[in-house]
Amino acid sequence: MRVLSVASECVPLVKTGGLADVAGALPGALAPQGVAMRTLIPGYPAVMAALKRAGARAVLAEADLFGGPGRVLAARAGGLDLLVLEAPHLFDREGSIYLGPDGRDWPDNAERFAALCWVAARIAGEGLDDGWRPDLLHCHDWQAGFAPTYLRARYPGAGVGTVITIHNVAFQGLVPAGKLSALRLPPGGMTPDGFEFWGQISALKAAIVDADRITTVSPTYAGELLRPEFGMGMEGILRRRQADLVGILNGVDLDAWSPPYRTPAGKSRFRKRLIAEMGLGGDAPGPLCVVVSRLTGQKGIDVLVDALPRLLDEGGQLALLGSGDPALEARLRELAARHAGVAVRIGYDEALARLMIEGGDAILVPSRFEPCGLTQLYGLRYGTIPVVGYTGGLVDTVIPATPAGLRAGVATGIQVHPVSADALSRAFDQLVRLYRSPDIWRAMQRNAMRHPVGWDRSAAEYAALYRAIAPDAG
Ligand code: ADP
């Protein structure tokens, strides 16, 4: 079974969030299932640099890719079988992969990612110059959203199955209607049953309408997506395609995320290192809580700020790493300046993220919505107790320390419901109580570290889905 995975970011080459972790882990996870996956990503400068070292060869050329030529280069890099779309007029830019220097989306994001989709459809429809052609196209998020639409329009009867995975329905790839013909989209799609979304074009909706199957990254989020509170306007079209929608939980790459200790006791070395790194005090009596997150409304960081006094009053500490909303960043910096028990690092830092998860006692993920969430999974694996909002994948992965959960000896964390300052303050009370009961705390840490967070089960689910769509592919 040959699968072309199409994504706008992919570990270890380029990452802004969980999508990259998943796109980078899938090929390795699916190989034992008999799936040979190649991954198509844009040729951003960091990707092109990695490719030069790997010795790439050209496997497809496009003369006119929305304003300039492009070609696809093939190489093995970062442990992946990569196809990279080299198109300097679209991707050879310094800075963030999605945002210009002014902090806004690049004005030609629609063309940039439409180009990725255009090429993906051509590879599926015609194959590469060396004859390789996928049995199935697996598209991730709106950036890959037009690929099934182009495939249907340009290569009807190509016999290549399509899957769209929704990693976050909040990102919908909205494009002004006036770009319809410039993006070479079929005009017939500009209807409420097609990719039209309240007068605009939505790349995500295009895939929801045109892909054979729709997946999202946890079973609970798959259900939430059908409701107006979470569907963000896509609930109607998703309800219509409910029979083809399934939630498959994300996993963790167990080799990339492997604790440098076998038991929770091994954490203390890293806790000390983290305290020193962040300039916190070493003798606080309460738990050291960590946050590694984009700083946006989704992640409930404002709620955390409101509830934080309770944690600090009870002797807890907070170490936070993140970046995003400038107003939130400013509020957090101010908190850190005022409280000795709060340390904040604004930025993106993979080594520090890892140290936080290694050295923290608890990891806070008070999201208002969370399609899957990865940091709570890292927390489980490292015995760093997750305190999470009761939503999406957080529901599916954390076993709450309710009286029943504790009695049965299965609890791995705390769930906060609803995500409000009151409820989170109560969760901090409970966290501190548990932390001060060393036997219970250690048992929870051990449960967490034993909780299966790898890809095995989900990889089998993806492989079964692929085979259901492309039964003749082997
Ligand atoms: P999302 O994709 O919504 O941002 P996830 O929990 O699915 O949330 O994935 C976030 C990923 O990005 C995790 O691997 C997390 O460790 C990483 N991450 C988030 N913020 C930072 C940061 N400031 N520095 C380093 N890694 C970060």
pLDDT one-digit tens code per residue, 211-238: 999 999 999 999 999 999 999 999 999 9
pLDDT one-digit tens code per residue, 5-15: 999 999 999 99
Mean pLDDT to the nearest integer, 357-363: 98
Q: From ligand 1's centre to the CA of 238, what distance in Å?
A: 27
> Residue 95 — pLDDT band, cuts 50, 70, 90?
confident
Domains of the chain: 2-251+456-469 (3.40.50.2000), 264-450 (3.40.50.2000)
Q: Three-state SS across 177-229?
A: HHHCCCCCCCHHHCCCCCCEECCEEEHHHHHHHHCCEEEECCHHHHHHCCCHH
CB of 293 closer than 6 angstroms to any ligand 1 atom = yes
CB of 96 closer than 6 angstroms to any ligand 1 atom = no
Q: From ligand 1's centre to the CA of 322, what distance in Å?
A: 8
Q: Which atom of ligand 1 is nearest to the CA of 298?
A: 3
> What is the DSSP track for 406-464?
HHTT---BEEESS-SHHHHHHHHHHHHHHHTSHHHHHHHHHHHHHS--SSHHHHHHHHH
The two tokens of residue 285 are: 């009596």
Quote the CA–CA distance of 340 and 389 in Å, as a whole number.
26
Dihedral angle, C-alpha 360, 263, 314, 290, nearest 10 °:
10
Q: Which atom of ligand 1 is nearest to the CA of 357?
A: 16
> Residue 326 — pLDDT band, cuts 50, 70, 90?
very high
pLDDT above 90 for 322: yes
pLDDT one-digit tens code per residue, 152-173: 999 999 999 999 999 999 999 9
Residue appearing with tokens 């699968």: 3
CB of 21 closer than 6 angstroms to any ligand 1 atom = yes
Q: Ligand 1 test: best mutation among 143, 374, 381, most atoms within 8 Å of CB?
A: 374
Residue 130 burial (10 A CB sphere; 0-12, 13-18, 19+): exposed
pLDDT in the model for residue 102: 87
CB of 375 closer than 6 angstroms to any ligand 1 atom = yes
Q: Ligand 1 test: best mutation among 293, 391, 453, most atoms within 8 Å of CB?
A: 293
* Number of Cβ atoms within 10 Å of the Cβ of 170: 15
- How many helices (H) and strands (E) the chain has is answered by 19, 18
> Residue 92 — pLDDT band, cuts 50, 70, 90?
very high
pLDDT one-digit tens code per residue, 31-58: 999 999 999 999 999 999 999 888 899 9
pLDDT in the model for residue 103: 85
* The Cα angle at residue 36 between residues 372 and 63, in degrees rounded to 5: 95
pLDDT in the model for residue 443: 97
The two tokens of residue 46 are: 């960091």
Four-residue CA torsion sign, 231, 237, 239, 241 = negative
Q: Provide the 3-class DSSP secondary structure of residue 143.
A: helix
Of 140, 124, 114, 123, nearest in space to 201 by CA: 114
pLDDT above 70 for 474: no
Q: From ligand 1's centre to the CA of 369, what distance in Å?
A: 15
> Residue 181 — pLDDT band, cuts 50, 70, 90?
very high
Q: pTM for the complete prediction?
A: 0.96
N- to C-terminal Cα separation, the chain: 5
Q: How many CA atoms lie within 13 A of 389 on its CB side?
A: 24
CB of 296 closer than 6 angstroms to any ligand 1 atom = no
The two tokens of residue 67 are: 């304003």
pLDDT in the model for residue 54: 86
* The Cα angle at residue 340 between residues 329 and 348, in degrees rounded to 5: 35
pLDDT above 90 for 471: no
CB of 292 closer than 6 angstroms to any ligand 1 atom = yes
pLDDT in the model for residue 237: 98
> Residue 259 — pLDDT band, cuts 50, 70, 90?
very high
Mean pLDDT to the nearest integer, 403-427: 97
Quote the CA–CA distance of 398 and 362 in Å, as a whole number.
13
Q: Provide the 3-class DSSP secondary structure of residue 43.
A: coil
pLDDT one-digit tens code per residue, 298-309: 999 999 999 999
Whether the CB-CB separation of 44 and 33 falls below 8 Å is answered with no
CB of 322 closer than 6 angstroms to any ligand 1 atom = yes
pLDDT above 90 for 324: yes
Averaged confidence pLDDT in the chain = 97
pLDDT in the model for residue 53: 87
- Atom 26 of ligand 1, residue of closest alpha carbon: 350
Four-residue CA torsion sign, 233, 239, 245, 248 = positive
